[in-house]
Amino acid sequence: MNTIKLTVAQALIRFLTMQKVERDGVVQPFFAGCFGIFGHGNVGGIGQALHQMPDFKYYQSRNEQAMVHTAAAFAKMKNRLSTFACTSSIGPGATNMITAAAGATINRIPVLLLPGDIFSTRKVDPVLQQLEASYTQDISVNDCFKPISKYWDRINRPEQLINSLPAAMRVLTSQDETGAVTICLPQDVQAESFDFPESFFEEKIWYIPRPVPEFELLKRAAELIRNSKKPMIIAGGGVIYSEATDELKNFIEQTGIPVGETFAGKGALPFDHPLNLGATGATGTEGANVNSTEADLIIGIGTRYSDFTTASKTAFQNKEVKFININIAAFDAFKHGALSLTGDARATLEALSKLLEGFETDISYRNKAAEFNISWDEKVSEAYLPNSEDLMYQSEVIGAVNDFSDPKDVVLCAAGSLPGDLHKLWRTRDPKGFHLEYGFSCMGYEIAGGLGAKMACPDREIYVMVGDGSYLMMGTEIVTSIQEGYKLTIILINNNGYASIGGLSKSLGTEGFGTSYQYRNPESGQLDGGFLPVDLAENVRSLGAELIKAENIHSLKDALKQAKEYSKTTVIYVETKPERKLAGYGHAWWEVPVSEVSEKDSVKDAFGKMKENQKKQRYFN
């Protein structure tokens, strides 16, 4: 057996360089490089290997959480066929990655995490930043990654890498199992050498299949559809990841079944398709929520049925409703007691279409969906219209960006009140035009995620929409975008606090307590004094970005034109009214607990409303 002497870190990087994926005959590298921040836990190991092997490109980040967000956004734009590795030091560098790693796993997005770890030899325990435990010495903070990793391992001996890395790749490239994968690297082991087999570093192509459910299950699904009167499709992210948007369009035009879209599935159809009912669930449109209430058959495609999608299990009110789930992951395919079609969305739709030749929903049902599509678009136009010449509503800002952007441009967001408005209001014209991280809804994803999206698709304009709350948590990757020459257009909306939770707090009767950025009032003792004098615009400028202030709708439109001419990351700063134009429609409820006992009438009223909505909740087994 021919061998080559390498350190563990060198062997790791060399192995990752040779990993590729193939789907539909297209072969591409799986890793686009490595993000990292160096500390004593990885500088002499992974750092040395990356320095020695520049072909595996290294990218410097400003925050370990941010670099994992960037990797996840990149993988999402690449339909999970490519991602980054992310390396950190031990201790806080490692634990900083946990939040974003959880988001990757929740969203079924592949990211490889390479946290440094304590010394395997234990000669110098405790090392700097080491967590000690009185009951064992076989633990470190990296054990915290276990519950949020789809695969986890610790390399205590160099030769363990030979078995561990292929196992990690199996999970990363698996469409049904993928998520965050963690390989913990004790800092001493990273630098140890071993005679690795040369065959370990040969090019490896991981084939991404398109499995189809058993024919008997497809026949049963076709029979359910033929017997239904009001079927409805809920399109999730799996439609887009499997590149099944054309197949979905062909399927609904053949059958006349209308479609509602989840956050991850928005863009599965163009916004103006007559059978597109728009956003579904707690942040849904009128048509999507009326149809889901009345539907006798729900066909979930690539959705995991989050509480926003199901309106906390109040969306499906027809007593006879049945479910068919098309999903690559059996875990999701069996939800709601569904007939499970475990398989690739594109291949399954193609197979199902053949069994449904001649079937079509009633003309009146199709026409009703088309009427909802038109009437909702009229509501969107109304929400986009400016009410005055002063501060804008958030919907007006969304409208200005949407109207200005090109069809292939991308809007990107994650948390706050923006996602709900974007879900209802953004007119999506391209399958990749709407990028929302709403499985974890992680504040701080926006700018870091925008960088990842731009790295994946440099030919698209990326419009990052971020509130002041998320910006204050993590605006640091503006610096990285400038360093690497990836231009973002960031619309920074300041409403002096946590607008989304402020509105939720008011709906629960707690009057927006603790959700505004205000001084502590010496008279009341509460945070209800004047607003804080934080100048976010100057902060943006200090990070090296171009800055444009927009005070009304006219200056915002001018700012968008100006920003497109700039070659580096540009921030358009706007202030908005705290109120919102659009409320919920139909069963647009989202369950958040309300205090059962309170002295405040507002809380008592909110509790009563919650109990009424809970009566509509259903179990599907």
Give pLDDT tens digits for 122-174: 888 898 888 989 898 889 999 999 999 999 999 999 999 999 999 999 999 99
pLDDT of residue 581: 59
Give tens-digit pLDDT for 175-231.
Answer: 999 999 999 999 999 999 999 999 999 999 999 999 999 999 999 999 999 999 999
The SS3 of residue 324 is: strand
Helix spans in 474-600 (H) = 477-484, 499-507, 536-542, 553-565
Position 505 pLDDT exceeds 90:
no
Query: Nearest 5°: CA angle at 411, between 533 and 536?
Result: 10
Q: For strands 231-235 and 31-36, give the pairing.
A: unpaired
Q: Which residues neighbour 373 within 8 Å (Cβ) at sequence distance 6 or greater?
A: 272, 273, 274, 275, 276, 277, 278, 287
Q: What does DSSP assign to residue 391?
A: S
CA distance 320 to 227: 12
Q: Which residues neighbour 523 within 8 Å (Cβ) at sequence distance 6 or greater?
A: none
- Mean pLDDT, the chain, as a whole number? 94
Q: Which residues neighbour 469 within 8 Å (Cβ) at sequence distance 6 or greater?
A: 415, 416, 443, 497, 498, 499
- Per the listing, tokens 């659009």 go with 582
Give tens-digit pLDDT for 568-589.
Answer: 999 999 998 877 656 666 668 8
Average pLDDT over residues 47-75: 97
CA distance 494 to 190: 45
> E strands within 401-501?
410-413, 434-436, 462-467, 489-494
Which amino acid, one-letter code, is at 431? P
Write out 166-220 in H/E/C secondary structure.
HHHHHHHCCCCCCCEEEEEEEHHHHHCEEEEEHHHHCCEEEECCCCCCCHHHHHH
DSSP symbols for 47-83: HHHHHH-TTS-EEE-S-HHHHHHHHHHHHHHTTTS-E
CA distance 105 to 399: 32
pLDDT of residue 545: 97
> What is the distance in angstroms between the CA of the first residue and the CA of the last residue of the chain?
55
pLDDT band (50, 70, 90) for residue 435: very high
pLDDT of residue 372: 97
pLDDT of residue 515: 75
Interior/surface letters 403-414, b for 16+ CB within 10 angstroms, e for the rest? ebbeeebbbbbb
pLDDT band (50, 70, 90) for residue 400: very high
pLDDT band (50, 70, 90) for residue 610: confident
User: H or E element: which one contains 13?
Assistant: helix 8-17
Q: What does DSSP assign to residue 344?
A: -
CA distance 284 to 575: 26
CA distance 80 to 526: 47
Q: Comparing 243-257, 343-357, 535-549, 594-608, which segment has the lowest mean pLDDT? A: 594-608
Burial of 353 (0-12, 13-18, 19+ CB in 10 A): middle
CA distance 447 to 466: 8
pLDDT of residue 183: 98
In this structure, what token pair is assigned to residue 512?
């927006």
Handedness of CA 73, 74, 79, 80 (dihedral sign): negative
Spell out the long-range contacts of 367-373 with Cβ–Cβ below 8 A and sequence spacing 24 or more.
369/258, 369/274, 369/275, 369/277, 369/287, 369/291, 370/274, 370/275, 372/277, 372/285, 372/286, 372/287, 372/288, 372/290, 372/291, 373/272, 373/273, 373/274, 373/275, 373/276, 373/277, 373/278, 373/287
CA distance 128 to 124: 10
Give tens-digit pLDDT for 415-429.
Answer: 988 999 999 999 999
In this structure, what token pair is assigned to residue 326?
């098309």
Average pLDDT over residues 18-40: 98
Average pLDDT over residues 284-294: 96
Q: For strands 111-117 and 151-154, give the pairing.
A: unpaired
DSSP symbols for 19-57: EEEEETTEEEESEEEEEE---TTTTTTHHHHHHH-TTS-
pLDDT band (50, 70, 90) for residue 256: very high
Average pLDDT over residues 249-253: 98
Q: For strands 276-279 and 204-207, give the pairing.
A: unpaired
Give tens-digit pLDDT for 99-120.
Answer: 999 999 999 999 999 999 999 9
Average pLDDT over residues 441-450: 96
CA distance 442 to 68: 12
Position 501 pLDDT exceeds 80:
no
Query: Greater confidence, 589 or 6?
Result: 6
Position 271 pLDDT exceeds 70:
yes
- Per the listing, tokens 């399927």 go with 251
pLDDT of residue 585: 66
Percent of the chain with pLDDT over 70: 97
Identify the CA nearest to 573 among candidates 591, 588, 552: 552
Helix 286-294 crosses helix 363-384 at what angle (to 10 degrees)? Answer: 150
pLDDT of residue 583: 62
pLDDT of residue 472: 93
614 C-beta neighbours (distance < 10 Å), count = 13
pTM recorded for the entire structure: 0.95
pLDDT of residue 215: 98
pLDDT band (50, 70, 90) for residue 351: very high
Rounded to 10 degrees, what is the CA torsion of 153, 158, 159, 161?
40
